[in-house]
């Protein structure tokens, strides 16, 4: 009897937990920007929330992809999620392309989203400038698919980097618009944007976001870069014409290095300033580089172990996609009924 009471209360606690959804595109290896802006926060939040972490491969094809590479990088990304500390037994981790409800809800929500809203999306403007030869409709409607990802699971909180804030706001607007017509169908999600690390900047142009698609490989650090590569990229990082470190907005290169240190060590900005302000740039870069390597090495080691274990990864993928599909269907059924599709 006693045991039953305990079980019940733990289930009740589980029910009360709020839901998190987030995802990353599987295009090449992720950067320390993706890691500090998103993935590391997911790891911190996984115990407090019911979490779904998706490899958003449907989003990836808005730019041209090579099939074999896409397949491999999706798999690697899932292995990296686990290597970074996400527990596949506790969280629902899966490929977006395995759960067709994402695309289905996306079509529906597209009919409740205005062209003018999509036209305002800065990421669309940036990406269409970058890929002039391939400004496809998917690139334009991308934020609707993102809204579908989130709303499908009645998500309360979406941990992302700063660059996704505008997309999140659109997801909220779509949810509210739909709810105003049909009653309370969707939970209206809130963004979770970390205090430090939400905007890791390019090492070569520190006023620009760090991005894995940067043509200059010295501008970004991939989570799988080897220690000597990391040290060299940090050494080459653009700073300014001053000589000693100060944490200030008008010193973006130095500020970025100090932010990276704070993220890698888990120290507050205050403690980071105490540790690094006044250092010469040579010393600063050495300390930051070493802290970064210390943070990355165990993740890399686990990644290569997990990657070997094909059977383990396959079992996770299958089981979690089924769970996601089950949860997604609950929302989708409700949506279809409200709209008036025949049962
Ligand atoms: P993506 O794949 O571009 O990036 C994944 C996550 O990394 C964050 N990020 C950064 N954070 C700090 N500094 C940077 N330099 C940096 N670069 C990237 C992003 O903000 C993101 O959190 N559209 C999304 C993927 C997505 C999604 C979703 C996210 C699809 N559906 C639903 C949340 C919920 C994207 O392209 O992220």
pLDDT tens per residue, range 106-151: 999 999 999 999 999 999 999 889 889 999 999 999 999 999 999 9
Whether residues 262 and 315 share a domain: the answer is no
187, 217, 285, 298 from 232: Cα distances, Å? 46, 11, 10, 20
Q: What is the pLDDT of residues 178-191, one digit of tens each?
A: 999 999 999 999 99
CATH code, domain with 318: 3.40.50.620
Whether residues 138 and 65 share a domain: the answer is yes
Whether residues 105 and 68 share a domain: the answer is yes
Domain span at residue 69? 15-197+310-339
Whether residues 272 and 158 share a domain: the answer is no
| For residues 321-340, average pLDDT | 98
Whether residues 279 and 318 share a domain: the answer is no
Whether residue 203 is contained in a domain is answered as no
Q: How confident is the model at residue 28, as a pLDDT?
A: 78
**Residue 7 — very low, low, confident or very high, per pLDDT cuts 50/70/90?**
very low
Using the mean position of ligand 1's atoms as its centre, give its distance from the Cα of residue 34 in Å: 6
Whether residue 167 is contained in a domain is answered as yes
Distance CA 183, CA 212 (A): 41
Q: What is the mean pLDDT of the chain?
A: 94
| For residues 155-168, average pLDDT | 98
Give residues (CB < 6 A) around ligand 1: 21-25, 33-34, 37-38, 56, 59, 146, 149-150, 158, 160-161, 163-164, 167, 198-200, 209-210
DSSP label at residue 199: T
Whether residues 67 and 182 share a domain: the answer is yes
| For residues 290-302, average pLDDT | 98
Whether residues 222 and 321 share a domain: the answer is no
| For residues 16-30, average pLDDT | 92
DSSP label at residue 41: H
Out of 40, 212, 255, 279, which one is annotated catalytic?
212
Whether residues 272 and 329 share a domain: the answer is no
Q: How confident is the model at residue 8, as a pLDDT?
A: 41
Share of the chain above pLDDT 70, in %: 96
Atom from ligand 1 closest to the CA of residue 146 = 31
Whether residues 97 and 25 share a domain: the answer is yes
Whether residue 209 is contained in a domain is answered as no
- Bigger pLDDT: 239 vs 343: 239
Using the mean position of ligand 1's atoms as its centre, give its distance from the Cα of residue 37 in Å: 8
Containing 325, the helix (H) or strand (E) segment is helix 310-339
| For residues 281-291, average pLDDT | 98
Whether residue 239 is contained in a domain is answered as yes
Q: How confident is the model at residue 343, as a pLDDT?
A: 87
Q: How confident is the model at residue 1, as a pLDDT?
A: 33
| For residues 294-311, average pLDDT | 95
Whether residue 303 is contained in a domain is answered as yes
- Bigger pLDDT: 264 vs 3: 264
CB 247 within 8 A of CB 278: no
Q: Is the pLDDT of residue 12 over 80?
A: no
CATH code, domain with 259: 1.10.240.10
How does strand 92-95 pair with strand 157-159? Answer: unpaired
Q: How confident is the model at residue 15, as a pLDDT?
A: 59
Whether residue 124 is contained in a domain is answered as yes
Atom from ligand 1 closest to the CA of residue 159 = 22
Whether residues 292 and 163 share a domain: the answer is no
CB 302 within 8 A of CB 153: no
Q: What is the pLDDT of residues 59-114, one digit of tens each?
A: 999 999 999 999 999 999 999 999 999 999 999 999 999 999 999 999 999 999 99
Active site residue 17: no
Using the mean position of ligand 1's atoms as its centre, give its distance from the Cα of residue 146 in Å: 11
Q: How confident is the model at residue 208, as a pLDDT?
A: 96
Q: How confident is the model at residue 4, as a pLDDT?
A: 38
Active site residue 40: no
* Terminal alpha carbon distance of the chain: 42
- Bigger pLDDT: 69 vs 13: 69
The total number of structural domains in the chain stands at 2
Whether residue 271 is contained in a domain is answered as yes
Q: How confident is the model at residue 131, as a pLDDT?
A: 86
Active site residue 90: no
Q: Is the pLDDT of residue 2 over 90?
A: no
Whether residues 175 and 282 share a domain: the answer is no
Whose C-alpha lies nearest to ligand 1, atom 20?
161
Whose C-alpha lies nearest to ligand 1, atom 25?
24
Whether residues 192 and 234 share a domain: the answer is no
Sheet (strand 92-95) strand order: 92-95, 50-55, 19-24, 157-159, 190-192
Whether residue 249 is contained in a domain is answered as yes
Using the mean position of ligand 1's atoms as its centre, give its distance from the Cα of residue 147 in Å: 13
Q: How confident is the model at residue 159, as a pLDDT?
A: 98
């Amino acid at each position: 009897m006693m045991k039953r009471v305990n079980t019940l209360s733990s289930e009740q606690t589980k029910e009360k937990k709020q839901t998190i959804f987030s995802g990353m595109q599987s295009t090449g290896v992720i950067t320390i920007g993706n890691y500090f802006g998103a993935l590391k926060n997911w790891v911190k939040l996984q115990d407090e929330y019911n979490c779904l972490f998706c490899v958003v491969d449907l989003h990836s094809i808005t730019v041209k992809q090579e099939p074999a590479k896409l397949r491999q990088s999706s798999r690697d990304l899932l292995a990296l999620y686990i290597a970074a500390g996400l527990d596949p037994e506790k969280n629902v981790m899966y490929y977006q392309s395995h759960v067709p409800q994402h695309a289905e809800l996306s079509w529906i929500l597209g009919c409740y989203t205005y062209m003018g809203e999509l036209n305002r999306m800065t990421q669309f403007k940036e990406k269409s400038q970058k890929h002039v030869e391939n400004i496809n409709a998917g690139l334009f409607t991308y934020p609707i698919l993102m809204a579908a990802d989130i709303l499908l699971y009645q998500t309360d909180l979406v941990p992302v980097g700063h660059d996704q804030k505008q997309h999140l706001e659109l997801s909220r607007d779509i949810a509210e618009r739909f709810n105003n017509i049909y009653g309370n169908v969707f939970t209206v999600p809130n963004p979770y944007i970390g205090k430090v690390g939400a905007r890791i900047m390019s090492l070569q142009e520190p006023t620009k976001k760090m991005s894995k698609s940067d043509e200059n490989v010295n501008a970004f650090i991939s989570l799988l870069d080897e220690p000597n590569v990391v040290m060299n990229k940090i050494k080459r990082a653009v700073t300014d014409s001053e000589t000693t470190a100060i944490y200030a907005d008008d010193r973006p290169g130095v500020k970025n290095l100090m932010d990276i240190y704070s993220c890698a060590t888990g120290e507050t900005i205050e403690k980071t300033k105490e540790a690094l302000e006044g250092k010469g740039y040579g010393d600063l870069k050495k300390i930051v580089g070493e802290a970064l390597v210390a943070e990355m090495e165990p993740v890399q080691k686990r990644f290569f172990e997990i990657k070997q274990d094909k059977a383990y990864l396959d079992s996770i993928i299958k089981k979690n996609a089924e769970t996601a599909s089950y949860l997604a269907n609950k929302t989708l059924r409700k949506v279809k009924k409200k709209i008036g599709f025949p049962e």
